[in-house]
A = this chain, B = another copy of it.
Protein backbone atom coordinates (compact mmCIF):
# COMPACT_ATOMS: atom_id res chain seq x y z
CA UNK A 1 0.00 0.00 0.00
CA UNK A 2 1.31 3.47 -0.85
CA UNK A 3 2.55 5.40 2.19
CA UNK A 4 0.10 8.23 1.53
CA UNK A 5 -2.82 5.78 1.62
CA UNK A 6 -1.70 4.45 4.98
CA UNK A 7 -1.27 7.99 6.25
CA UNK A 8 -4.81 8.83 5.10
CA UNK A 9 -6.19 5.75 6.86
CA UNK A 10 -4.33 6.83 9.98
CA UNK A 11 -6.18 10.15 10.07
CA UNK A 12 -9.61 9.17 8.66
CA UNK A 13 -9.91 5.57 9.80
CA UNK A 14 -10.70 2.62 7.50
CA UNK A 15 -14.26 3.84 6.86
CA UNK A 16 -12.86 7.10 5.50
CA UNK A 17 -10.61 5.58 2.83
CA UNK A 18 -11.48 3.30 -0.10
CA UNK A 19 -8.39 1.68 -1.59
CA UNK A 20 -7.11 -1.24 -3.63
CA UNK A 21 -9.65 -3.32 -5.56
CA UNK A 22 -12.55 -1.41 -4.01
CA UNK A 23 -11.46 1.63 -5.97
CA UNK A 24 -11.37 -0.31 -9.21
CA UNK A 25 -14.93 -1.50 -8.54
CA UNK A 26 -16.21 2.08 -8.76
CA UNK A 27 -17.12 3.71 -12.05
CA UNK A 28 -14.90 6.59 -13.09
CA UNK A 29 -17.92 8.85 -13.44
CA UNK A 30 -21.52 8.93 -14.61
CA UNK A 31 -20.72 9.32 -18.30
CA UNK A 32 -17.87 6.81 -18.37
CA UNK A 33 -17.78 3.04 -18.65
CA UNK A 34 -14.26 2.89 -17.24
CA UNK A 35 -13.38 2.07 -13.67
CA UNK A 36 -11.90 4.56 -11.23
CA UNK A 37 -8.12 4.89 -11.50
CA UNK A 38 -7.43 6.84 -8.30
CA UNK A 39 -4.87 5.67 -5.79
CA UNK A 40 -7.57 5.94 -3.15
CA UNK A 41 -10.97 7.53 -2.58
CA UNK A 42 -11.03 9.53 0.65
CA UNK A 43 -14.31 10.30 2.37
CA UNK A 44 -13.82 12.96 5.02
CA UNK A 45 -16.81 13.64 7.25
CA UNK A 46 -16.10 17.25 8.24
CA UNK A 47 -14.38 20.42 7.09
CA UNK A 48 -11.69 19.65 9.63
CA UNK A 49 -11.07 16.25 8.03
CA UNK A 50 -10.98 17.77 4.53
CA UNK A 51 -8.39 20.20 5.84
CA UNK A 52 -6.34 17.37 7.36
CA UNK A 53 -6.45 15.39 4.10
CA UNK A 54 -5.41 18.36 1.96
CA UNK A 55 -2.60 19.37 4.32
CA UNK A 56 -1.30 15.82 4.20
CA UNK A 57 -1.50 15.63 0.41
CA UNK A 58 0.06 19.06 0.15
CA UNK A 59 3.07 18.08 2.26
CA UNK A 60 3.51 14.96 0.13
CA UNK A 61 2.81 16.70 -3.20
CA UNK A 62 0.01 14.27 -3.95
CA UNK A 63 -2.63 15.47 -6.40
CA UNK A 64 -6.27 15.64 -5.35
CA UNK A 65 -9.48 15.54 -7.41
CA UNK A 66 -12.64 16.75 -5.62
CA UNK A 67 -15.71 14.63 -6.33
CA UNK A 68 -19.38 15.46 -5.81
CA UNK A 69 -22.15 13.44 -7.44
CA UNK A 70 -20.09 12.38 -10.44
CA UNK A 71 -22.69 13.67 -12.90
CA UNK A 72 -20.48 16.16 -14.74
CA UNK A 73 -20.22 15.94 -18.51
CA UNK A 74 -16.73 17.29 -19.23
CA UNK A 75 -14.45 14.91 -17.30
CA UNK A 76 -14.00 17.49 -14.55
CA UNK A 77 -13.88 15.01 -11.65
CA UNK A 78 -12.02 12.08 -13.23
CA UNK A 79 -8.91 10.97 -11.33
CA UNK A 80 -5.74 9.80 -13.03
CA UNK A 81 -3.54 7.04 -11.60
CA UNK A 82 -1.66 8.27 -8.52
CA UNK A 83 -4.26 10.91 -7.66
CA UNK A 84 -6.52 10.94 -4.62
CA UNK A 85 -10.25 11.28 -5.26
CA UNK A 86 -11.80 13.36 -2.48
CA UNK A 87 -15.49 12.53 -2.16
CA UNK A 88 -17.90 14.67 -0.14
CA UNK A 89 -20.42 11.84 0.19
CA UNK A 90 -20.17 11.74 3.97
CA UNK A 91 -20.93 15.45 4.27
CA UNK A 92 -24.66 15.51 3.62
CA UNK A 93 -26.01 17.54 6.51
CA UNK A 94 -28.55 20.27 6.01
CA UNK A 95 -27.40 22.25 9.01
CA UNK A 96 -30.13 24.83 9.18
CA UNK A 97 -32.92 26.37 7.20
CA UNK A 98 -34.45 29.74 8.04
CA UNK A 99 -37.86 30.69 6.71
CA UNK A 100 -37.46 34.30 7.82
CA UNK A 101 -34.00 34.78 6.32
CA UNK A 102 -34.82 32.38 3.48
CA UNK A 103 -31.40 30.76 3.72
CA UNK A 104 -30.15 27.20 4.04
CA UNK A 105 -26.78 26.26 5.47
CA UNK A 106 -25.62 22.93 4.06
CA UNK A 107 -22.63 20.68 3.74
CA UNK A 108 -21.33 20.35 0.20
CA UNK A 109 -22.26 16.68 -0.19
CA UNK A 110 -26.02 17.32 0.10
CA UNK A 111 -27.75 16.39 -3.13
CA UNK A 112 -29.66 19.01 -5.05
CA UNK A 113 -32.83 16.98 -4.67
CA UNK A 114 -32.42 16.71 -0.88
CA UNK A 115 -32.14 20.48 -0.63
CA UNK A 116 -35.13 21.01 -2.94
CA UNK A 117 -37.17 18.69 -0.72
CA UNK A 118 -36.04 20.30 2.52
CA UNK A 119 -36.90 23.75 1.19
CA UNK A 120 -40.29 22.52 0.04
CA UNK A 121 -41.03 21.05 3.48
CA UNK A 122 -40.36 24.48 4.99
CA UNK A 123 -42.77 26.07 2.51
CA UNK A 124 -39.81 27.53 0.60
CA UNK A 125 -38.24 26.95 -2.81
CA UNK A 126 -34.73 26.34 -4.10
CA UNK A 127 -34.97 27.20 -7.79
CA UNK A 128 -31.94 25.41 -9.26
CA UNK A 129 -33.05 22.33 -11.17
CA UNK A 130 -31.45 19.92 -13.59
CA UNK A 131 -31.87 16.33 -14.70
CA UNK A 132 -29.20 14.91 -12.38
CA UNK A 133 -30.83 16.40 -9.28
CA UNK A 134 -30.90 13.06 -7.45
CA UNK A 135 -27.12 12.57 -7.59
CA UNK A 136 -25.61 16.00 -8.26
CA UNK A 137 -24.40 17.68 -5.07
CA UNK A 138 -24.53 21.28 -3.93
CA UNK A 139 -20.73 21.31 -3.84
CA UNK A 140 -20.62 20.15 -7.45
CA UNK A 141 -23.32 22.65 -8.43
CA UNK A 142 -21.15 25.40 -6.93
CA UNK A 143 -17.90 24.13 -8.43
CA UNK A 144 -19.48 24.05 -11.90
CA UNK A 145 -21.81 27.06 -11.49
CA UNK A 146 -24.71 24.84 -12.54
CA UNK A 147 -27.43 26.23 -14.77
CA UNK A 148 -30.45 24.23 -15.89
CA UNK A 149 -33.98 25.15 -16.77
CA UNK A 150 -34.90 28.12 -14.61
CA UNK A 151 -31.93 30.40 -15.20
CA UNK A 152 -34.06 32.76 -17.26
CA UNK A 153 -35.77 33.84 -14.06
CA UNK A 154 -33.63 32.81 -11.09
CA UNK A 155 -30.09 32.87 -12.49
CA UNK A 156 -27.39 30.25 -12.26
CA UNK A 157 -26.02 28.64 -9.11
CA UNK A 158 -23.77 31.70 -8.68
CA UNK A 159 -26.83 33.83 -7.94
CA UNK A 160 -28.02 31.39 -5.27
CA UNK A 161 -24.80 31.16 -3.26
CA UNK A 162 -24.66 33.77 -0.51
CA UNK A 163 -21.63 32.36 1.24
CA UNK A 164 -19.33 29.39 1.24
CA UNK A 165 -16.54 27.69 3.06
CA UNK A 166 -13.69 26.07 1.18
CA UNK A 167 -10.51 24.26 2.06
CA UNK A 168 -7.57 25.55 0.06
CA UNK A 169 -4.91 23.21 -1.37
CA UNK A 170 -2.59 23.73 1.60
CA UNK A 171 -5.32 22.73 4.04
CA UNK A 172 -6.20 26.21 5.23
CA UNK A 173 -9.91 26.93 5.63
CA UNK A 174 -11.38 29.95 3.88
CA UNK A 175 -14.70 30.61 5.56
CA UNK A 176 -16.88 33.19 3.83
CA UNK A 177 -20.29 32.13 5.12
CA UNK A 178 -22.10 35.36 4.34
CA UNK A 179 -25.89 35.19 4.77
CA UNK A 180 -26.93 38.46 3.17
CA UNK A 181 -28.01 39.54 -0.30
CA UNK A 182 -25.91 42.70 0.07
CA UNK A 183 -22.39 42.62 1.46
CA UNK A 184 -19.89 44.96 -0.21
CA UNK A 185 -16.96 44.58 2.15
CA UNK A 186 -13.83 43.89 0.17
CA UNK A 187 -13.33 41.36 -2.61
CA UNK A 188 -16.09 38.82 -3.02
CA UNK A 189 -13.82 35.79 -2.75
CA UNK A 190 -16.57 33.21 -3.20
CA UNK A 191 -17.04 34.36 -6.79
CA UNK A 192 -13.65 32.92 -7.72
CA UNK A 193 -14.44 29.50 -6.28
CA UNK A 194 -17.86 29.32 -7.93
CA UNK A 195 -17.33 27.75 -11.34
CA UNK A 196 -13.67 26.93 -10.76
CA UNK A 197 -14.33 23.18 -11.12
CA UNK A 198 -12.38 22.15 -8.05
CA UNK A 199 -9.11 23.64 -9.28
CA UNK A 200 -8.75 26.26 -6.52
CA UNK A 201 -10.05 24.46 -3.45
CA UNK A 202 -12.73 22.14 -2.12
CA UNK A 203 -16.06 23.71 -1.24
CA UNK A 204 -17.17 22.14 2.06
CA UNK A 205 -20.20 24.18 3.17
CA UNK A 206 -22.44 26.89 1.77
CA UNK A 207 -25.15 29.37 2.62
CA UNK A 208 -27.81 29.27 -0.09
CA UNK A 209 -30.55 31.72 -0.93
CA UNK A 210 -34.05 30.27 -0.86
CA UNK A 211 -37.20 31.77 -2.35
CA UNK A 212 -40.83 31.79 -1.42
CA UNK A 213 -42.66 28.77 -2.73
CA UNK A 214 -44.60 29.76 -5.84
CA UNK A 215 -48.29 29.08 -5.36
CA UNK A 216 -49.03 28.50 -9.03
CA UNK A 217 -47.49 26.99 -12.13
CA UNK A 218 -48.60 27.16 -15.76
CA UNK A 219 -47.05 25.27 -18.66
CA UNK A 220 -47.67 25.51 -22.39
CA UNK A 221 -46.21 24.08 -25.57
CA UNK A 222 -46.10 26.28 -28.66
CA UNK A 223 -44.96 25.63 -32.20
CA UNK A 224 -43.70 28.38 -34.50
CA UNK A 225 -42.47 28.70 -38.07
CA UNK A 226 -39.32 30.80 -37.90
CA UNK A 227 -36.52 31.61 -35.50
CA UNK A 228 -37.56 35.23 -35.54
CA UNK A 229 -40.96 34.04 -34.27
CA UNK A 230 -39.11 32.24 -31.46
CA UNK A 231 -37.43 35.49 -30.47
CA UNK A 232 -40.68 37.40 -30.75
CA UNK A 233 -42.45 34.88 -28.51
CA UNK A 234 -39.66 35.10 -25.94
CA UNK A 235 -39.79 38.86 -25.68
CA UNK A 236 -43.60 38.94 -25.65
CA UNK A 237 -43.89 36.35 -22.87
CA UNK A 238 -41.06 37.74 -20.79
CA UNK A 239 -42.60 41.17 -20.88
CA UNK A 240 -46.25 40.35 -20.36
CA UNK A 241 -45.84 37.56 -17.84
CA UNK A 242 -44.29 40.27 -15.68
CA UNK A 243 -41.53 38.45 -13.86
CA UNK A 244 -43.08 35.00 -13.64
CA UNK A 245 -41.59 33.42 -16.79
CA UNK A 246 -39.49 30.58 -15.37
CA UNK A 247 -38.60 28.50 -18.44
CA UNK A 248 -38.42 29.10 -22.16
CA UNK A 249 -37.09 25.90 -23.70
CA UNK A 250 -36.78 25.68 -27.46
CA UNK A 251 -36.65 22.39 -29.36
CA UNK A 252 -35.69 22.38 -33.02
CA UNK A 253 -37.87 20.16 -35.22
CA UNK A 254 -35.44 17.19 -35.19
CA UNK A 255 -35.53 17.07 -31.41
CA UNK A 256 -39.32 17.10 -31.13
CA UNK A 257 -39.88 14.69 -33.98
CA UNK A 258 -37.36 12.17 -32.63
CA UNK A 259 -38.62 12.24 -29.07
CA UNK A 260 -42.33 12.20 -29.83
CA UNK A 261 -41.81 9.58 -32.55
CA UNK A 262 -40.33 7.26 -29.94
CA UNK A 263 -43.24 7.63 -27.51
CA UNK A 264 -46.60 5.92 -27.43
CA UNK A 265 -49.73 8.02 -27.85
CA UNK A 266 -50.51 11.22 -29.65
CA UNK A 267 -48.05 14.07 -28.96
CA UNK A 268 -49.42 17.30 -27.44
CA UNK A 269 -48.81 19.06 -30.78
CA UNK A 270 -48.34 17.46 -34.21
CA UNK A 271 -44.75 16.86 -35.30
CA UNK A 272 -43.13 18.68 -38.22
CA UNK A 273 -43.14 22.34 -37.19
CA UNK A 274 -39.76 24.08 -37.36
CA UNK A 275 -39.60 24.99 -33.63
CA UNK A 276 -41.36 23.94 -30.44
CA UNK A 277 -41.26 26.04 -27.29
CA UNK A 278 -41.98 24.92 -23.74
CA UNK A 279 -43.13 27.90 -21.70
CA UNK A 280 -43.40 27.74 -17.93
CA UNK A 281 -44.59 30.47 -15.60
CA UNK A 282 -44.46 30.15 -11.81
CA UNK A 283 -45.95 32.83 -9.67
CA UNK A 284 -48.64 33.96 -7.34
CA UNK A 285 -51.14 36.70 -7.87
CA UNK A 286 -54.79 36.26 -8.55
CA UNK A 287 -56.07 34.11 -11.38
CA UNK A 288 -52.63 33.30 -12.79
CA UNK A 289 -53.97 30.73 -15.26
CA UNK A 290 -56.28 33.32 -16.70
CA UNK A 291 -53.43 35.77 -17.04
CA UNK A 292 -51.23 33.10 -18.68
CA UNK A 293 -53.99 32.34 -21.18
CA UNK A 294 -54.51 35.99 -21.96
CA UNK A 295 -50.84 36.56 -22.64
CA UNK A 296 -50.66 33.47 -24.89
CA UNK A 297 -53.85 34.46 -26.68
CA UNK A 298 -52.36 37.87 -27.47
CA UNK A 299 -49.35 36.13 -29.01
CA UNK A 300 -51.58 33.79 -31.03
CA UNK A 301 -53.70 36.65 -32.31
CA UNK A 302 -50.66 38.13 -34.03
CA UNK A 303 -50.49 35.06 -36.26
CA UNK A 304 -46.92 34.29 -35.31
CA UNK A 305 -47.51 30.88 -33.79
CA UNK A 306 -48.53 27.67 -35.56
CA UNK A 307 -50.20 25.97 -32.66
CA UNK A 308 -50.31 25.97 -28.87
CA UNK A 309 -51.56 23.86 -26.00
CA UNK A 310 -51.82 24.86 -22.36
CA UNK A 311 -51.44 22.06 -19.82
CA UNK A 312 -54.73 21.59 -17.99
CA UNK A 313 -53.36 19.24 -15.33
CA UNK A 314 -50.15 18.24 -13.60
CA UNK A 315 -50.11 15.12 -15.83
CA UNK A 316 -50.13 17.31 -18.94
CA UNK A 317 -47.34 19.46 -17.45
CA UNK A 318 -45.36 16.28 -16.89
CA UNK A 319 -45.97 15.12 -20.46
CA UNK A 320 -44.68 18.36 -21.94
CA UNK A 321 -41.67 18.48 -19.63
CA UNK A 322 -41.13 14.77 -20.29
CA UNK A 323 -40.65 15.46 -24.00
CA UNK A 324 -38.17 18.23 -23.27
CA UNK A 325 -36.22 16.06 -20.81
CA UNK A 326 -36.17 12.85 -22.84
CA UNK A 327 -32.68 13.18 -24.23
CA UNK A 328 -32.26 9.41 -23.96
CA UNK A 329 -34.64 9.03 -26.90
CA UNK A 330 -32.14 10.91 -29.06
CA UNK A 331 -29.71 8.01 -28.64
CA UNK A 332 -31.66 6.16 -31.33
CA UNK A 333 -29.55 8.11 -33.82
CA UNK A 334 -26.41 6.18 -32.79
CA UNK A 335 -23.20 7.25 -31.07
CA UNK A 336 -23.29 10.90 -30.14
CA UNK A 337 -20.97 13.85 -29.66
CA UNK A 338 -22.52 16.28 -27.18
CA UNK A 339 -21.93 20.02 -27.12
CA UNK A 340 -23.13 22.82 -24.88
CA UNK A 341 -22.35 26.22 -26.34
CA UNK A 342 -23.58 29.75 -25.80
CA UNK A 343 -23.96 32.70 -28.12
CA UNK A 344 -26.14 35.77 -28.42
CA UNK A 345 -29.72 34.98 -29.44
CA UNK A 346 -29.39 37.21 -32.49
CA UNK A 347 -26.61 34.99 -33.87
CA UNK A 348 -28.09 31.56 -33.20
CA UNK A 349 -29.89 30.94 -36.44
CA UNK A 350 -26.86 31.79 -38.55
CA UNK A 351 -24.57 29.73 -36.33
CA UNK A 352 -26.74 26.62 -36.47
CA UNK A 353 -26.99 27.06 -40.23
CA UNK A 354 -23.23 27.28 -40.57
CA UNK A 355 -22.40 24.18 -38.57
CA UNK A 356 -25.18 22.24 -40.28
CA UNK A 357 -23.88 23.01 -43.72
CA UNK A 358 -20.35 22.04 -42.72
CA UNK A 359 -21.59 18.76 -41.24
CA UNK A 360 -23.69 18.04 -44.33
CA UNK A 361 -20.71 18.63 -46.57
CA UNK A 362 -18.62 16.07 -44.74
CA UNK A 363 -21.22 13.58 -43.41
CA UNK A 364 -24.33 13.75 -45.61
CA UNK A 365 -26.15 11.31 -43.30
CA UNK A 366 -25.44 13.18 -40.09
CA UNK A 367 -28.08 14.11 -37.57
CA UNK A 368 -27.65 17.44 -35.82
CA UNK A 369 -30.14 17.86 -33.02
CA UNK A 370 -30.44 21.24 -31.39
CA UNK A 371 -32.38 22.45 -28.37
CA UNK A 372 -31.70 24.91 -25.65
CA UNK A 373 -32.36 27.48 -23.02
CA UNK A 374 -32.68 30.31 -25.51
CA UNK A 375 -33.30 32.97 -22.91
CA UNK A 376 -29.91 32.15 -21.39
CA UNK A 377 -28.14 32.14 -24.78
CA UNK A 378 -27.54 28.39 -24.34
CA UNK A 379 -27.74 25.75 -27.10
CA UNK A 380 -27.30 22.04 -26.65
CA UNK A 381 -26.10 20.45 -29.88
CA UNK A 382 -25.91 16.70 -30.29
CA UNK A 383 -24.24 15.45 -33.42
CA UNK A 384 -24.48 11.94 -34.83
CA UNK A 385 -22.16 10.89 -37.66
CA UNK A 386 -22.19 7.11 -37.01
CA UNK A 387 -18.75 7.14 -35.44
CA UNK A 388 -17.33 7.58 -31.98
CA UNK A 389 -13.66 7.71 -32.92
CA UNK A 390 -11.35 10.24 -31.31
CA UNK A 391 -10.33 11.66 -34.69
CA UNK A 392 -13.93 12.15 -35.79
CA UNK A 393 -14.77 13.71 -32.41
CA UNK A 394 -11.94 16.20 -32.97
CA UNK A 395 -13.17 16.99 -36.48
CA UNK A 396 -16.75 17.52 -35.30
CA UNK A 397 -15.56 19.61 -32.34
CA UNK A 398 -13.63 21.83 -34.69
CA UNK A 399 -16.78 22.45 -36.74
CA UNK A 400 -18.77 23.32 -33.61
CA UNK A 401 -16.16 25.38 -31.75
CA UNK A 402 -14.16 27.15 -34.44
CA UNK A 403 -16.89 29.58 -35.57
CA UNK A 404 -17.88 30.62 -32.03
CA UNK A 405 -15.42 33.48 -31.60
CA UNK A 406 -16.84 35.06 -34.74
CA UNK A 407 -20.34 34.78 -33.26
CA UNK A 408 -19.26 36.26 -29.87
CA UNK A 409 -19.99 32.86 -28.33
CA UNK A 410 -18.47 30.46 -25.84
CA UNK A 411 -17.43 26.81 -26.02
CA UNK A 412 -19.22 26.12 -22.75
CA UNK A 413 -22.53 27.52 -21.55
CA UNK A 414 -23.20 25.50 -18.42
CA UNK A 415 -21.24 22.23 -18.46
CA UNK A 416 -17.84 23.76 -17.81
CA UNK A 417 -14.44 22.97 -19.28
CA UNK A 418 -12.98 20.08 -17.27
CA UNK A 419 -10.50 17.98 -19.18
CA UNK A 420 -12.70 17.50 -22.22
CA UNK A 421 -12.82 21.09 -23.47
CA UNK A 422 -9.53 22.24 -21.99
CA UNK A 423 -7.66 22.34 -25.25
CA UNK A 424 -10.41 24.46 -26.82
CA UNK A 425 -10.45 27.11 -24.09
CA UNK A 426 -8.44 29.53 -26.22
CA UNK A 427 -11.11 29.41 -28.92
CA UNK A 428 -13.31 31.80 -26.95
CA UNK A 429 -11.11 33.16 -24.14
CA UNK A 430 -8.20 35.46 -24.92
CA UNK A 431 -4.53 34.87 -24.12
CA UNK A 432 -4.66 37.70 -21.58
CA UNK A 433 -7.65 36.07 -19.86
CA UNK A 434 -6.02 32.65 -19.75
CA UNK A 435 -2.81 34.15 -18.43
CA UNK A 436 -4.79 35.83 -15.62
CA UNK A 437 -6.47 32.49 -14.85
CA UNK A 438 -3.02 30.94 -14.54
CA UNK A 439 -1.87 33.66 -12.19
CA UNK A 440 -4.94 33.21 -9.99
CA UNK A 441 -4.49 29.46 -10.00
CA UNK A 442 -0.95 29.99 -8.74
CA UNK A 443 -2.14 32.13 -5.82
CA UNK A 444 -4.47 29.40 -4.60
CA UNK A 445 -2.47 26.38 -5.66
CA UNK A 446 1.22 27.14 -6.23
CA UNK A 447 2.14 23.43 -6.40
CA UNK A 448 -0.68 22.65 -8.85
CA UNK A 449 -1.97 19.70 -6.87
CA UNK A 450 -5.68 20.62 -6.90
CA UNK A 451 -7.44 18.97 -9.82
CA UNK A 452 -4.50 19.63 -12.15
CA UNK A 453 -5.13 19.43 -15.87
CA UNK A 454 -8.75 20.56 -15.54
CA UNK A 455 -9.67 23.90 -17.19
CA UNK A 456 -5.98 24.75 -17.72
CA UNK A 457 -3.21 22.52 -19.11
CA UNK A 458 -1.24 20.59 -16.48
CA UNK A 459 1.82 22.82 -16.43
CA UNK A 460 -0.36 25.85 -15.83
CA UNK A 461 0.13 26.21 -12.09
CA UNK A 462 3.65 27.47 -12.54
CA UNK A 463 2.97 30.77 -14.28
Chain A residues near B (Cβ < 8 Å): 98-101, 103, 144-145, 147, 151-153, 155-156, 158-159, 172-176, 178-189, 191-192, 194-196, 212-216, 231, 235, 238-244, 282-288, 290-291, 294-295, 342-346, 373, 375-378, 408-417, 421, 425, 428-430, 432-434, 436-437, 439-440, 443, 455-456
Contacts and interface: CB of A to CB of B under 8 A. Distances in A.
A48 to B, nearest CB: 15
B286 A291 contact: yes
Contacts of A425: 185-186
24 contacts: A98-B344, A100-B344, A147-B182, A156-B182, A172-B432, A173-B432, A174-B432, A174-B436, A175-B432, A176-B430, A180-B343, A182-B342, A182-B413, A184-B410, A184-B413, A184-B417, A185-B417, A185-B429, A189-B433, A239-B284, A243-B282, A287-B291, A439-B443, A443-B443
Contacts of A284: 239-243, 295
Contacts of A156: 181-182
Q: Nearest 3 CB-CB pairs, A to B?
A: A242-B283, A243-B243, A191-B191
Task: Determine which residue in A101, A187, A432 has the highest number of CB atoms from chain B within 10 A of its CB, and name it.
Answer: A187
Given A286-B295, A440-B440, A443-B440, A178 B410 contact: yes
Contacts of A416: 184-185
A122 B239 CA distance: 14
A98 B238 contact: no
A153 B425 CA distance: 34
B440 A183 contact: no
Given A410-B185, A439-B443, A440-B187, A242 B285 contact: yes
A407 to B, nearest CB: 10
Contact of A187 (B173, B195, B290, B291): B195
Contact of A243 (B159, B244, B345, B408): B244
Nearest to A177: B408
A180 B415 contact: no
Contacts of A414: 182, 184
Nearest to A163: B408
Nearest to A298: B286
A340 B438 CA distance: 36
Given A98-B344, A98-B346, A100-B344, 7 more contacts: A156-B182, A180-B344, A182-B414, A187-B437, A187-B455, A239-B284, A242-B244
A430 B186 CA distance: 11
